[in-house]
Amino acid sequence: MALATELRAKGFSLSLDGGKLLVAPSEQLTDELRDLIRAHKLELVDELSRLEARRERVERHLLDDPTIRTDADVEGVPLDKTPGDPISVVIAVRTPQGIVSGELLIPREKWDPHLFQKYLLECSAS
């Protein structure tokens, strides 16, 4: 499991501010986790930068075409249901207040591409 995913699963949020990595709540970080984060900082920054690029891409798609209500970028789709890292889905939804986006982490063994496609189609039609 990627370290960022592991940290989020433990209840931490990760973000970038400029090139600075922010982890919250910082008061819950143990010395062991701090050392792990320091040792893998470049990988974490790279992973968060890729996630941000995916989020911007789906939001841009909605901004470029006002007829589209939802868009998604799916990463890590398995060929089978063997245990592994969760599926990362970045989704953007047009609301009356604007575009909202975020990442969903779907357990690999629960991933159903047909159900997900059906959900996106239903959201787009609503």
Q: What are the pLDDT digits (tens) for 13-26? A: 999 888 789 999 99
Q: Give the domain ranges of the chain.
A: 3-125
Model's pTM, two decimal places?
0.80
Tell me the sheet residues that pair with 17: 20
3-state secondary structure of 76: coil
Residues in Cβ contact with 91 at an 8 Å cutoff, skipping those fewer than 6 apart: 58, 70, 71, 72, 73, 101, 102, 103, 104
DSSP label of 108: G
Q: Which pLDDT does position 32 carry in this prediction?
A: 94
Compute the distance between CA of residue 87 and CA of residue 79 in angstroms, rounded to an integer: 12
Q: Are 96 and 70 in contact (CB under 8 A)?
A: no
Q: What are the pLDDT digits (tens) for 64-122? A: 999 999 999 998 777 776 777 788 899 999 999 999 999 888 888 888 888 888 887 77
